[in-house]
Amino acid sequence: QTGVRVERQPLSRYTTLGVGGEAEIWFVETLDQLREAVSAPYRILGGGSNLVVADEGVPERVIRLCGPLAKADLEPDPQLSTAGDIVTGWVGGGTPLPGLLRKLQGLGLSNLEGTVGIPAQVGGAVWMNAGTRFGEMFGGLHSLELVTPQGTRTVTPDELDWGYRNSGIPRGEIVSRVRLRLRASTPPDVQARMTLADDARKGQPKMKTPGCAFKNPQGVAGKGAGRLIDEAGLKGTRCGQAMISPEHANFIVNLGGATAADVHGLLDIIRRQVPVPLELEYELWP
Ligand code: FAD
């Protein structure tokens, strides 16, 4: 009834790994369309930058925020802004994070530059509280609008039990829009902090990948997952068209035409050959 566009498409088009079978994709542009979309079992897709989607696809409808729900109103809200804090208008959950950060840099607005280089959408980055040691999404959030089949609610970060790479938002709640809480700086200063955060990414592969495969284990004397995989001699190991990156062992890359089965094959090899139990960073669909 709301005119939402629905198409069956391979999810490989929407994941940074370039893997994933077909699903019914709901291209949602308005809150009314979103409310219609959540009336049957669904998954919410962001930038697809943390996903390994099965070759069979997923049975649920897959919601993708676009149109107005992928745009950012960065105009300061005079009612909510204070002397220290600039609070923006609504930023759609489907807004690509890299483009948003470029705009904030141009406006000299600070608080989110630590998230530079994360190829996510705002909603997905908020849902995971994505970030680096230079800063995370919750460092720049004023409030969040969340949609579920039960209705819509607006919350502030202190109402959520958020922490390291975790927003505390229950699974299934969709981050439809957020307001950012920013600080006035200057374009060169914001750029300098972005460059610092970006420099820490040198050595990460530039190929199709869903980012780090495993979380760094606790209590292994400063050895990250990448170091442990490297020490097991697995850099460059291939399974079909998927490969453990020779540049950084905690990255699995798609050499072109990889399948989810190829990626799972590599994950199994890593689990068998690394002597320490590793916890997966990727999210697996289904
Ligand atoms: P997706 O991968 O599409 O989905 C991930 C999860 O978020 C799913 O559960 C999905 O349902 C949920 N989700 C997506 N959109 C919404 C929404 N609107 N509302 C509610 N839930 C939603 N992560 C870091 O934290 N730090 C890094 O430095 C980092 N570097 C990366 C570098 C590369 C090259 C890559 C490929 C990934 C990197 N990542 C990093 C991982 C990834 O970008 C983050 O996990 C990010 O938060 C995923 O966001 P997304 O929009 O792509 O979500």
Query: Does the beta carbon of 283 sit less than 6 angstroms from any atom of ligand 1?
Result: yes
Structural domains counted in the chain = 3
Query: Does the beta carbon of 44 sit less than 6 angstroms from any atom of ligand 1?
Result: yes
Give the pLDDT confidence score for residue 215 in this predicted structure.
95
pLDDT tops 90 at residue 143? yes
- Per-residue pLDDT band at 221 (split at 50, 70, 90): confident
Which residue CA neighbors atom 32 of ligand 1 most closely?
Answer: 211
Give the pLDDT confidence score for residue 219 in this predicted structure.
78
Burial of 245 (0-12, 13-18, 19+ CB in 10 A): buried
Instruction: Choose between 219 and 182: higher pLDDT.
Output: 182
Q: Do 175 and 169 meet the contact criterion of CB atoms below 8 Å apart?
A: yes
Q: Do 65 and 14 meet the contact criterion of CB atoms below 8 Å apart?
A: no
- Per-residue pLDDT band at 206 (split at 50, 70, 90): very high
Find the CATH number of the domain harbouring 162: 3.30.465.10
Mean pLDDT throughout 23-46? 98
Instruction: For residue 83, report the distance from its CA to the centre of ligand 1, in Å.
Output: 32
If one residue of 45, 118, 209 were mutated to test the ligand 1 pocket, choosing by the most ligand atoms within 8 A of its CB, it would be: 118
Which residue CA neighbors atom 23 of ligand 1 most closely?
Answer: 130
Query: Does the beta carbon of 121 sit less than 6 angstroms from any atom of ligand 1?
Result: yes
Q: Do 64 and 45 meet the contact criterion of CB atoms below 8 Å apart?
A: yes
Q: Is the dihedral of CA 117, 217, 220, 243 positive or negative?
A: negative
If one residue of 16, 64, 128 were mutated to test the ligand 1 pocket, choosing by the most ligand atoms within 8 A of its CB, it would be: 128
Query: Does the beta carbon of 211 sit less than 6 angstroms from any atom of ligand 1?
Result: yes
pLDDT tops 80 at residue 278? yes
The pTM of the full predicted model, rounded to 2 decimals, is: 0.98
Give the pLDDT confidence score for residue 190 in this predicted structure.
98
Tell me which residue range forms the domain holding 171. Answer: 71-199
In a domain, 146, yes or no: yes
Give the pLDDT confidence score for residue 249 in this predicted structure.
97
pLDDT tops 80 at residue 62? yes
Instruction: For residue 45, report the distance from its CA to the centre of ligand 1, in Å.
Output: 9
In a domain, 110, yes or no: yes
Instruction: For residue 1, report the distance from its CA to the centre of ligand 1, in Å.
Output: 31
DSSP-assigned letter for residue 138 = G
Q: Which of 42, 68, 94 is the last residue of a domain?
A: 68
Q: Which helix (H) or strand (E) holds 35?
A: helix 31-37
Q: Which of 68, 84, 117 is the last residue of a domain?
A: 68
In a domain, 212, yes or no: no
- Per-residue pLDDT band at 1 (split at 50, 70, 90): confident
Same-domain check for residues 113 and 183:
yes
Query: Does the beta carbon of 135 sit less than 6 angstroms from any atom of ligand 1?
Result: no
pLDDT, one tens digit per residue, over 123-139 is 999 999 999 999 999 99
Query: Does the beta carbon of 165 sit less than 6 angstroms from any atom of ligand 1?
Result: yes
Same-domain check for residues 51 and 155:
no
Same-domain check for residues 35 and 136:
no
Same-domain check for residues 183 and 87:
yes
Give the pLDDT confidence score for residue 148 in this predicted structure.
97
Residue type, 25: I
Instruction: For residue 79, report the distance from its CA to the centre of ligand 1, in Å.
Output: 31
Pairwise CA distance, residues 262 & 229, whole Å? 17
Same-domain check for residues 230 and 168:
no
In a domain, 89, yes or no: yes
Strands 151-155 and 174-184: unpaired
Same-domain check for residues 173 and 192:
yes
pLDDT, one tens digit per residue, over 233-265 is 999 999 999 999 999 999 999 999 999 999 999
E-assigned strand segments in 48-172: 51-53, 61-65, 86-92, 109-110, 131-132, 135-136, 141-148, 151-155
In this structure, of 88-97, 140-149, 170-179, 210-219, the range with the lowest mean pLDDT score is 210-219
Find the CATH number of the domain harbouring 249: 3.90.78.10
Give the pLDDT confidence score for residue 222 in this predicted structure.
79
Query: 154 φ, ψ to 5°?
Result: -115, 130
Same-domain check for residues 147 and 230:
no
In a domain, 133, yes or no: yes
Same-domain check for residues 149 and 182:
yes
Residues designated catalytic: 165, 212, 281
pLDDT tops 90 at residue 220? no
Give the pLDDT confidence score for residue 39 in this predicted structure.
97
Same-domain check for residues 17 and 76:
no
- Contacts of residue 49, Cβ cutoff 8 Å, sequence gap at least 6: 15, 16, 118, 119, 120, 124, 210, 211
